[in-house]
Amino acid sequence: RTAKAQATLQVPDLVMNALTSGEIHTPKGPVFATAIVAGTMAVKKTADLIPFCHPLNIQKCDFHIASEDNRIVIECTCGLEGKTGVEMEALTGVSVAALTVYDMCKSITPPTAMSVQNVCLLDKTK
């Protein structure tokens, strides 16, 4: 079973101008690399965060981060072999990754200039 989720961050030019070689570096460190670690940790902790979610043995957790115009698009794909879906894990992972980007970029732009948008499930397979 797999699930793919996506979140979009709307960011100002100041953040996009900090993007070099596919990464944003802020005083807190490399933003995208840190977001991937945070998102992966969130995937593994979903059952601790959302009531009635079962702990799962996640066998796949991949992130993809891209920027276009003034948007940062984050995707998380989770997978496992089992009888239950992994959509909550994918949605939790992408949400925490997006919040991590937001948190780390507020050191270079006012936080009110950014917004997390369109957290959604793109695909789910059995």
Looking at the annotation, which residues are catalytic? 103
Number of H helices, E strands in the chain: 4, 7
Q: What angle do CA 63, 55, 101 make, to 5 degrees?
A: 30
Which pair of tokens denotes residue 16?
Answer: 């996009």
**Token pair for 28:** 């807190």
Nearest to 98 by CA among 124, 71, 122: 71
**Cα 46–Cα 84–Cα 33 angle in degrees, nearest 5:** 40
Report the distance separating Cα 75 and Cα 113, nearest Å.
Answer: 22
